[in-house]
Structures are given as C-alpha cells and as structure tokens.
Amino acid sequence: MFNVISTGNEEIDRQFGGGIPAPSLVFIEGEHGTGKSAISAQIMQGLLDSKKNILCVIENTVKQYIQKMKSITFNFTRPFVMNQIIFVPMYVENAKWSKKNSERILSEIKKFISNKLDTVDGIIIDSISPMVINSSNESILNFLSFCKEIVAKGKTIIITSHSSDFSKSTNTAIIGAADVYLKLGTTFVGDREVKTLKIIKLLGAAESPESGFAFEVDMVFGIKIVPVSMANA
C-alpha cells in the first residue's frame, strides 16, 4: 500500500501525479550535470518535511555536500544537527582504493544500512556509481534484492546512477524492480540548455503522472519547471 509524500515543490508534485509514492524504490538515472543530485535532494526535502529520518550515502564529505546543496537552496544543516539525517561519506580520508577494496563497498554499505534500519525511514544513495564500478552483476542484483526487502519493510530508497553503471540486462532488471524510474538528460531550447526528466515508471501515484518535463536548477528558487513540451525535448 502506497502513501504519497510531497516533494516540497508543488510543480514537481503535479508532474508526478501528487508526489512520490512511499514506501518505494526510486532510481534516478542520468549523466553528469543532468540534475540527479538536485532531484534526489528535492525528494529528500519532502521526506524531511514529512518528519522522516534519513540515511544519506554521499560521494562528497558532509561539509562539501551541505554546501553544494545550499548553493541550490536546499539547507540540510538543521536536520543534520538534529540527527534527522545521518550522512555516510563514501570517500574517507587516507583510504586506500583498489579493485579488491572497491568490490567490498556494496556489501559494507549493505551492512551499515542494515544496522541503521530501525532508526531511519528513508535511504538516499547519491550516487551508486563508486559502489558498483568493480562489482559483479550478481553482487548488484543481490543488492537490488536487499533494497526491495527494505522497501517491503516500509522504507523508501532513492538511488542515483549514471547510464553506464550497469549492463543492459542488469539495467532491465533494475527498471523492473523499481517502483519509480526517472531518466534525466539535457536539451536545448533555442540557445538555452535545460535539463529534462522522463518518467519511465511511476507506480502508486495519486493521479496520472505526466510523461516528463524540462527544468532548471536555480540558485535562488531551486528547481524550476520550464514550460517546454517534452515532445520537443
């Protein structure tokens, strides 16, 4: 049974048919610079506004991530200080990276999530790319099964990824397993580049969602929907 949680952005909620269904497994796919972190942060803001506790796995340090999000109007300082967000930086000081060590990341993150599961309502992984760079398809699919088990326990998981992270067969399995699958890109409107979001899959929406939309990430207003037909994007 899905509930629908507002993203905190009325325009995006309208495009999504009311908001993000919860609990759900949400995948956000796109290349660098397509707005994956902004969209995941917008959903995280909605979860926080709904008094949900979040575990957030990030590529940056905590300070870098908070500053980056502040630059696009998301201020996660207070929920962090109030322990509403637990940040888990993937890169740690003096860590020695090797193929063997990187193969262990998925299993270690899985253990950490399992240990914190009773204290959080939502999990954000932004992004999964460093976790799967040397992982086998089997390990990735096992992690996907683990995510589905967590969603069955009433938690929402948001994962951002790059288009090249997975094999074609694994990506097909991910789309099948996801409750929400969003594909981001960019297009030009005249000489102006905008980001695009295509809704590949969205189960549990309160109303029929749109097929997608174009948007910009503004340093003052945050995510702004651009009135451009996706047919032209």
**Residue whose token pair is 């495009």:** 15
pLDDT in the model for residue 229: 58
pTM as predicted: 0.93
Does the structure show a pLDDT above 80 at 94?
A: no
107-154 confidence digits (pLDDT tens): 889 999 999 999 999 999 999 998 898 888 999 999 999 999 999 999
162-210 confidence digits (pLDDT tens): 989 999 999 999 999 999 999 999 998 878 899 999 999 999 998 999 8
d(Cα 214, Cα 228) in Å, to the nearest integer? 6
**Chain centroid, CA 74 distance in Å:** 15
> What value does the mean pLDDT of the chain take?
91
Q: 3-232 sits in which CATH class?
A: alpha beta
- What are the tokens at 174? 């991910």
Q: Domain residue spans in the chain?
A: 3-232
- Name 92's Cβ contacts closer than 8 Å, sequence gap at least 6: none
Does the structure show a pLDDT above 50 at 231?
A: no
Band (pLDDT 50/70/90 cuts) for residue 220 is confident
